[in-house]
């Protein structure tokens, strides 16, 4: 299984080109939600600027997201203040995104004190 993460300080964001390609690959014109200039919010307001897509931890193994990063390469797929990377882990394995100031790594889940 492949997992997307941000390999620099800043934070995880997918570029405009990345979002456009993800929408093409997925066939969903709303993939990523309202994150590009001109997209519509649920209340009908128009998004006034590109924010780039920011995936929650549970969506980092999305096949479309991974494919976009692989096709565009890290530089073109990465949004502002990010450098998106792909980690390979065992299929079906649980993982956590460990983050410090936006710099991330993919780690096995931490055990709780009660385990």
Closest CA to 56 of 104, 23, 16: 104
9-28 pLDDT, tens digit each: 999 999 999 999 999 999 99
Return d(Cα 55, Cα 41) in angstroms, integer.
Answer: 17
Band (pLDDT 50/70/90 cuts) for residue 83 is: very high
Residues 26 and 112: beta-carbon distance below 8 Å? no
Q: What is the pLDDT of residue 114?
A: 61
Return mean pLDDT, the chain.
Answer: 92
Return d(Cα 30, Cα 39) in angstroms, integer.
Answer: 8
**Region 64-87 average pLDDT:** 96
Q: pTM, whole model, 2 decimals?
A: 0.89
């Amino acid at each position: 299984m492949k997992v997307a993460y941000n390999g620099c300080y800043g934070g995880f964001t997918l570029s405009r080109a990345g979002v456009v390609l993800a929408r093409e690959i997925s066939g969903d014109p709303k993939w990523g939600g309202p994150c590009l200039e001109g997209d519509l919010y649920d209340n009908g307001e128009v998004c006034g600027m590109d924010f780039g897509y920011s995936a929650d931890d549970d969506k980092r193994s999305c096949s479309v997201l991974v494919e976009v990063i692989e096709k565009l390469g890290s530089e073109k797929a990465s949004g502002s203040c990010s450098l998106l990377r792909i980690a390979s882990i065992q299929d079906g394995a649980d993982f956590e995104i460990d983050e410090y100031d936006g710099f991330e790594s993919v780690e096995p889940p931490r055990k709780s004190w009660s385990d």
